[in-house]
Amino acid sequence: MSNCCINLPCANTSIGTVNQYISTLFNTLMVAQCSLSPPDYWPPDYGDIAIKRGFQEYDFIIVGAGAAGSVVANRLSENPNWNILLLDAGGDPPIESVVPAFPFEILKTQYDWQYSIENTDTLGLYSGNYWPRGKMLGGSTSLNFLIYARGNERDYNHWEQLGNPTWGFNDVLKYFKKSENNMYPEIANAFGGYYHSTKGLLSVELVNSSLPLSADIRMAAEELGFNYVLDLNAVKHVGVTIQQLTIRSGKRESAATAFLVSAKDRPNLHIVKHAHVENLEIDRNGVVSRVKFNLRGEKEFTVRARKEVILSAGTINTPQILMLSGIGPRTHLEQLQIPVIRDLQIGKNLHDYPYIFMLLKLDKNTAVEITVNDLIQGYYLYLTQHTGPFSNIGTFENVVNFNSRDPFSNYPDFQYYHIGYQRGQVSDVITFFNGLGYNDIVINIAVDVIKEANMVIVPLVLLDPQSRGKILLRGKEPVLKPKIYPNYLRTPSDMQTFLRAIRLYLRFLNTVAFRKHEAELVLIPMPECDVLESDSDEYWVCYTRNMVATALHPCGTAKMGPDSDPDSVVDYRLKVKRTTGLRVIDASIIPKIPSGNLQAPTMMIGEKGADFVKEDWGFIGKN
């Protein structure tokens, strides 16, 4: 676009008026873009001061400024008598993070940890091995699809039944509500406000893109018998709906914008960016007192915590830090010659929503190609008014939740999404598939489709995975990325659920709404699958094994549970077992993944974990 006019002759010389308007327009657009994410909007980096003065002692040191850590930092710093240090390996999010339509542009950049999974017999050969994770303030809430979904009451009641008191739905609901500022009155006020709140720091909106295709997707689902449900976060958990999103006035609402920006001027909260935590200082009695980190890749610091160290580094980094510090499986640590302080099953119980996708060609005879002017006008509208196609997530706003085993069940085990692209969006399609690690065969097929028609990518997501993986250290050097073994589809029941979901989705192609769009299934050439009978279970098993990938919601690697559970790492108050002064407050404590995206549950864990800390140290504060 920058070279679109480079060879055109310029108009005659302006007498001044036109130049003034052009200058004003240019300056207005630059100011508008800068206002999306001005440097002074984000919390200041205390590292600048610490490099000159050194670090003081703190009451609490929090590692990780993601979905949970941002919440914990905000809530603990409400006590002006406590000094809080928040360390994060990343910095301020880029402008692309603010724009709801740009999550895939951030992948494989400095704002992403760029993890990869290990090659195993369950690896999707065509889907690659890429695991994105946010490396910036807000963590993965700064690069996700903004979905606000809690799961359902049975998920949390099951946590409690596993031996975790106070984690049942009636207990955790108040913490979901504590964070939430639901901006959609029909949802917020339903059931007398029992399920939602308008008083929290996290803005949640129901954003309807008003795209005709989006409405047709919902019509197709209803034609197949799925009921439209306004709010899957209330009573009904199955059906088709427009998703609630963490958006505030057309801009992304991340954990950082909601919880850190609002607390950035508190003098007792010091936030240090680009601080890569290497390990914790733990004595033989299990007392944790200090955190060692590398600042900006230049200088190492060791800082003391008077009360607690709180790990909120996430499902991958939290177990890595614990194992590097001597807390982990004895055999594994001894193999790496790391002194074992506590033999705990760190890194086990890894699970995630696995997914595959189907590719649909639409409107092959009627598709209108998108133009540069369309994109320019859309971005102009976004810059000046924060509305238009860049202010939402398009057809991805729809979700279909269902139970593949029991059509009358209110508890989903599967869901469908739809990501729509208009003919000619070649670079966007490449960005999507490349960003998630798909190979050239997949990318080339998708590009061929989008050049001649509209296209929909349909992720089919398993919400109730039974397979479990693990995380191991690659070595004892902190800079080495850990080994990730998701072990997708290891449990036969997971594959059977995929087969049921695939069979059901194929019925979408024959609905009136999809036939109107000339919907056509496009299969990826796979020699090992193509020799099988087309549309047989054997074919779809082969397809699923080759295409399975992460739906970006890993959890469980520092499992919460009672002492009777040999795989548990933290107790129900999130204290690391057989240690003093150490807690984990993030998605790694989840014993079993809830049937909804993890952004909202992880923030809930942050809220509840912060209250545990306050209670244990005698500060009631705000509730």
CA distance 571 to 576: 7
CA distance 487 to 121: 8
Closest-CA residue to 390 (of 96, 97, 35, 100): 100
Q: CA torsion 321→326→327→329, rounded to 10°?
A: 110
Query: Strands 130-131, 419-421: parallel, antiparallel or unpaired by DSSP?
Result: unpaired
Residue length of the chain = 623
Count Cβ atoms below 10 Å from residue 478 Cβ, excluding itself.
16
Between the two ends of the chain, the Cα-to-Cα distance in Å is: 51
Residues 350 and 117 sit within 8 Å (Cβ to Cβ): no
Who's near 41: CB < 8 A, 6+ residues apart? 261
Tokens 């019509």 -> residue: 219
> If you write DSSP's letter for every residue of 171-210 in order, what string do you get?
HHHHHHHHHEEE--HHHHTGGGGTS--BSSSEEEEE----
Which tokens go with 467? Answer: 């397979």
Which tokens go with 496? Answer: 């059977």
- Measured between alpha carbons, how far is residue 422 from residues 95, 370, 457 in Å? 24, 6, 12
DSSP 451: H
CA distance 451 to 434: 17
Residues 147 and 245 sit within 8 Å (Cβ to Cβ): yes
Sign of CA dihedral 473, 474, 480, 484: negative
**Active-site annotation holds for 351:** no
Active-site hit among 237, 270, 386, 553? 553
CA distance 442 to 523: 9
Residues 547 and 357 sit within 8 Å (Cβ to Cβ): yes
Sign of CA dihedral 21, 25, 31, 32: positive
- Measured between alpha carbons, how far is residue 527 from residues 23, 125, 148, 539, 543 in Å? 57, 12, 39, 11, 10
Amino acid of residue 149: A
Phi, then psi, of 275 in degrees rounded to 5? -110, 105
CA distance 589 to 574: 8
- Measured between alpha carbons, how far is residue 389 from residues 134, 210, 275, 386, 399 in Å? 24, 10, 36, 9, 19
> If you write DSSP's letter for every residue of 100-139 in order, what string do you get?
TT-GGGGTTSTTB--EEPPP-TT--TTT--EE--B-BTTG
Amino acid of residue 586: D
CA distance 459 to 456: 10
| Catalytic machinery residues | 553
